[in-house]
């Protein structure tokens, strides 16, 4: 049985004391038909008071059973109107008939909505795919090298140095830096700082989103790095002539062999 709150018990007790005080002062009892009007001063509705009285009478042994309830005639205006008495409700502690309704949200008890899981284990989900891709690339490179000869130049002549002498295109950016800075700065300091910044990038930008519009810092950093290196490669490829001097390809020609 649910316990009745303390404030409801106090309110019922106050109503009882108020009704008892009025009765002791000699107030005339209202007729049965006027019971709702007499109980209007109380905060408890009249039908609840009638049910409470019936329940008390039944518990005391003076009330009839619910199956034997007969129509009760109430005199009103000289005519009798037959009404069925409402069956009494089960009383709570102390004879009170109040009930307490508690509403609890389902989310506070159990989580009925499954949360999306966007993480998988590295092994075997990722490594199996990477191994298959590496295996396919190795097979393709092997087959391609069997049927296609590499574009090699003639044998090197120690008595004749090519002019200009250019590194492969992927090293031309570094060779271009050597024309501008000291070898220590161009070969160690600048590339080392670039690699160090790229290593720190995931720790500086910890945004877990995969959308490009949410990764402005990472995209900007990588774009600057690629554009800087691509510019150096293009200058060394198309704008360097004999003696690795600056030249215009549309004026002096292109000094680069694939």
Q: Is 150 helix (H, G, I), strand (E, B) or coil?
A: coil
Q: Is 95 helix (H, G, I), strand (E, B) or coil?
A: helix
Residue with tokens 């060779």: 175
Cβ contact 194:167 at 8 Å: no
Rounded distance, CA 42 to CA 22, Å? 12
pLDDT at 51: 85
Backbone angles phi, psi at 101, to 5 degrees: -110, 125
The domain ranges of the chain are 162-252
For the range 197-205, what are the long-range contacts, defined as Cβ-Cβ under 8 Å and sequence gap of 24 or more? 197/221, 197/225, 198/222, 198/225
Q: Is 6 helix (H, G, I), strand (E, B) or coil?
A: helix
Q: Which two tokens stand for residue 170?
A: 């992927």
Residue with tokens 């271009």: 176
pLDDT at 189: 94
pLDDT at 143: 95
Q: Which residues sit opposite 243 in a β-bridge?
A: none
pLDDT at 22: 82
Q: Is 32 helix (H, G, I), strand (E, B) or coil?
A: helix
Distance of CA 249 to the CA centre of its chain: 56
Q: What is the mean pLDDT of each run of 10 residues along the chain (258 residues)?
A: 75 87 65 46 73 84 48 43 50 59 58 68 89 97 91 83 86 91 92 88 84 86 90 92 90 80
Whose CA is closest to 228, among 258, 184, 198? Answer: 198
pTM above 0.75, yes or no: no
Angle at 128 between CA 123 and CA 129, to 5 degrees: 120
Residue with tokens 């009494």: 88
Distance of CA 5 to the CA centre of its chain: 39
Q: Which two tokens stand for residue 251?
A: 């004026």
Q: Is 117 helix (H, G, I), strand (E, B) or coil?
A: coil
pLDDT at 96: 61
pLDDT at 208: 83
For the range 21-29, what are the long-range contacts, defined as Cβ-Cβ under 8 Å and sequence gap of 24 or more? none
């Amino acid at each position: 049985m649910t316990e009745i709150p303390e404030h409801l018990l106090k309110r019922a007790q106050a109503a009882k004391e108020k009704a008892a005080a009025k009765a002791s002062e000699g107030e005339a009892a209202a007729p049965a038909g006027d019971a709702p009007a007499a109980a209007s001063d109380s905060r408890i509705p009249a039908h609840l008071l009638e049910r409470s009285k019936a329940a008390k009478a039944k518990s005391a042994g003076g009330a009839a059973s619910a199956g034997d309830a007969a129509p009760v005639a109430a005199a009103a205006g000289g005519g009798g109107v037959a009404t069925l008495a409402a069956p009494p409700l089960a009383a709570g502690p102390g004879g009170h008939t109040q009930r307490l309704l508690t509403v609890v949200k389902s989310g506070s008890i159990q989580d009925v909505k499954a949360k999306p899981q966007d993480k998988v284990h590295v092994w075997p989900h990722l490594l199996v795919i990477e191994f298959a891709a590496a295996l396919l690339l190795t097979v393709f490179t092997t087959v391609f090298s069997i049927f296609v000869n590499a574009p090699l130049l003639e044998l090197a002549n120690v008595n004749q140095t090519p002019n200009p002498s250019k590194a492969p295109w992927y090293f031309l950016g570094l060779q271009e830096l050597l024309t501008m800075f000291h070898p220590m700065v161009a070969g160690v300091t600048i590339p080392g700082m670039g690699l160090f910044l790229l290593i720190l990038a995931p720790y500086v930008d910890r945004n877990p989103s995969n959308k490009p519009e949410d990764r402005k810092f990472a995209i900007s950093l990588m774009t600057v790095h690629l554009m800087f290196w691509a510019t150096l490669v293009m200058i060394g490829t198309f704008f360097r002539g004999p003696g690795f001097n600056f030249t215009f390809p549309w004026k002096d020609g292109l000094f680069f062999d694939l």
